[in-house]
Amino acid sequence: MLLQSEGMLQSYSPKGLGKLDTKFRDSANPPSWTGMDAWIAAVCVNTVEAKRYNLPIPTSWMDLTDPVYKGHLVMPNPNSSGTGFLDVSSWLQIYGKLGGWQFMDNLHENIAWYTHSGSKPCKQAARGETPIGISFAFRGAKSKAAGAPLEIVLPKEGVGWDMEATAIMKGTKKLSAAQKLVDWSITKKANKLYNQGYAVVAYPGIAKPVKYFPAGILEAMIDNDFEFAAVNRKSILGEWQKRYDAKSEAK
């Protein structure tokens, strides 16, 4: 998205573009990029530990600011985790700039520590090291399938997400080859390959069901403003670091 904002991408409509979920393509015609796959935020709750500490199962992001959760939450540091950044970006979009930072101030009061990995909060919840980890849904489903006592929550306000995408650099000397690659990147065959590592892919009907993956995840994905996230990334990360980094785990 930063490359797009600098005018460095070559627009191109690959063959079969209309078959993609509209979330996974640039809205411009022709588009500057096309999406491949996505990972989606979720809250992993260890039901055994939650019961031990008399913690209710949260249903919203705002629930997590309740003092009952103080010291029982873990989430990724957005400066070292893409998952952490998609959380922060989504909260600023859901609640607005002032409301988003106020939400994170309140959430910070309940955070035990910030990790430097997006999957780690869910892994720690799965092991009982924390009752609740803010992570991503695919990791939660995998941990639950391995036997962890997890409930995977999609907060009702909606969830942040990020995607991998394909684009052509403007000025390439191999434009025909680049277009051929982009054509391939949105095919069923390519999306089946993406599905090996991601539960959500751009081509509808391709993704195989993942055991324990929460229902309704496509509907829960917010209308993500990727340009906002990219253009404001540096200032958002700087502000987050200033406010909350004191609770980050040592690298």
Q: Would residue 21 count as lying in a domain?
A: no
The whole-angstrom separation of Cα 59 and Cα 10 is 42
Q: pTM of the predicted model, to two decimals?
A: 0.90
Which structure tokens are listed for 12? Answer: 């191109």
201 occurs within a structural domain: no
**Residue 117: CATH number of its domain:** 3.40.190.10
- Residue 213 forms part of a structural domain: no
Domain of 55 in residue numbering reads as 39-160+228-247
Measured distance CA(29)–CA(11) in Å, rounded: 8
Is 55 within a domain?
Answer: yes
The reply to whether 30 falls in a domain is no
What is the number of structural domains in the chain?
Answer: 1
Residue 206 covered by a domain: no
**Which of 229, 156, 186 is CA-nearest to residue 22?**
186
Identify the CA nearest to 139 among candidates 148, 157, 130, 131: 148
- Per-residue pLDDT in tens (0 to 9) along the chain, 251 residues: 889 989 999 999 999 999 999 999 999 999 999 999 999 999 999 999 999 999 999 999 999 999 999 999 999 999 999 999 999 999 999 999 999 999 999 999 999 999 999 999 999 999 999 999 999 999 999 999 999 999 999 999 999 999 999 999 999 999 999 999 999 999 999 999 999 888 999 999 999 988 999 989 889 999 999 989 999 999 999 999 999 999 999 98
Distance CA 40, CA 51 (A): 26
